[in-house]
Amino acid sequence: MTESPLNPVTPTNPVGLLVVDKPEGPTSMDICRVVKACLRRGGAPKSVKVGHGGTLDPLATGVVVVLIGRAATRLCDEVMAGEKRYIAEVDLSCRSSTDDREGEKTEISVIRAPELAEVTAACAPFVGTIEQVPPAHSAIWVDGQRAYKLARAGAKPEMKARPVEIHAIEILEYVYPRLVLDVRCGKGTYIRSLARDVGMALGVGGMLAGLRRTAVGAFSIEDAVPLNDVPSPLLQEHLRPLPGAGAESSEN
C-alpha cells in the first residue's frame, strides 16, 4: 500500500533534535511542552521524552535545542557544555534588583558618559576565566532553595562567586546609555551578571535590557525554527539526527 503524503506513517518513538527560535515570554520548558504536543498529534505516545539543552530566561529570545527521545535527552549535558553565543543589550543608565528589566530599577545619574575606549577597556578584564557572582534572582541553589525564591520572599541570598569562561566580547553598538555586545561564553555564565559588572567597572548603571541567544555549540540561529512555525503534527522527518548518529528515526 502506498502512503498518502497527507497521511504519512509516523514512528511511535521519535528521536532527534529540534532547534527552536524562542520568542520572548515562554520558558524553555514551555517550548518543550509545545513540541511534545506537536509530536503527540503526529502519533507519538504520551510517554515520549522531551527536554532541552540549556535554559533560556523568559525575557530572552533565540536558540533552544529541544531533545526528543531517550537517546537525545541523555545528550543534555553534552549539548549544555557547548559554547553559547549571545547578543546582549545593556542599559548603562540604571541598575535593577534582578539585573534585567524585570526587576525594580534605580536610575543612575552620571556627570559624563563613558567614551567608547573606556567601555572597551572595561569589557577586556571579563574575557577569560573569571569569578562571577550570579544574580540573586537565579536558579542557583542556596541553603537548599532556589535563590530566586528566597529573593522573591524578601530574603537576600548570599551569592558566592564561581568561575565561568567568557571566550570573547565584541562591542557591536554603543551610544550611551545603550551598549550592544556579542558575547561568546561557556556553560553557567550569566549575561545579566556581565551587564551589571561592566556597568560597575565603568561607575555607571548596568542592566540587561535585551538578550538573544544566537548559538549553542554547533546549533545556530540560522538552524532554528520560529516557535509559531513548528509543524503540527511534528514528524520524524522534521527532526535533526543526533550528533554522530545515522538516519535512524526511532528507538528500540
Instruction: List, for residues 75-121, the tens digit of each pLDDT value.
Output: 888 888 889 999 999 999 999 988 999 888 999 999 999 999 999 99
- Per-residue model confidence (pLDDT) at position 102: 86
Active-site annotation holds for 100: no
The β-bridge partners of 128 are 166
- Per-residue model confidence (pLDDT) at position 8: 41
In tens, the pLDDT along 128-169 reads: 999 998 886 655 545 555 555 544 655 565 668 899 999 999
Q: Are residues 101 and 170 in the same domain?
A: yes
Q: Are residues 34 and 146 in the same domain?
A: no
In tens, the pLDDT along 31-80 reads: 999 999 999 999 999 999 999 988 888 899 999 999 999 999 998 888 88
Q: How far apart are CA 189 and CA 134, in angstroms?
A: 8
Residue 32 forms part of a structural domain: yes
C-alpha cell of residue 84:
553559547
Owning domain of residue 200: 84-216
- Per-residue model confidence (pLDDT) at position 79: 85
Residue 99 forms part of a structural domain: yes
- Per-residue model confidence (pLDDT) at position 137: 62
Q: What is the CATH number of the domain that holds 74?
A: 3.30.2350.10
Q: Are residues 66 and 171 in the same domain?
A: no
- Per-residue model confidence (pLDDT) at position 109: 92
Catalytic one among 21, 30, 57, 229? Answer: 57
- CB crowding 46-84: b at 16 or more within 10 Å, else e: eebbbbbbbebbebbbbbbbbbbbebbbebeeebbebeb
- Per-residue model confidence (pLDDT) at position 158: 64
Q: How far apart are CA 108 and CA 111, in angstroms?
A: 10
- Per-residue model confidence (pLDDT) at position 37: 95
Question: Are the beta carbons of 238 and 231 closer than 8 angstroms?
Answer: yes
In tens, the pLDDT along 7-39 reads: 443 467 899 999 999 999 999 999 999 999 999
pTM above 0.85, yes or no: yes
- Per-residue model confidence (pLDDT) at position 91: 98
Residue 188 forms part of a structural domain: yes
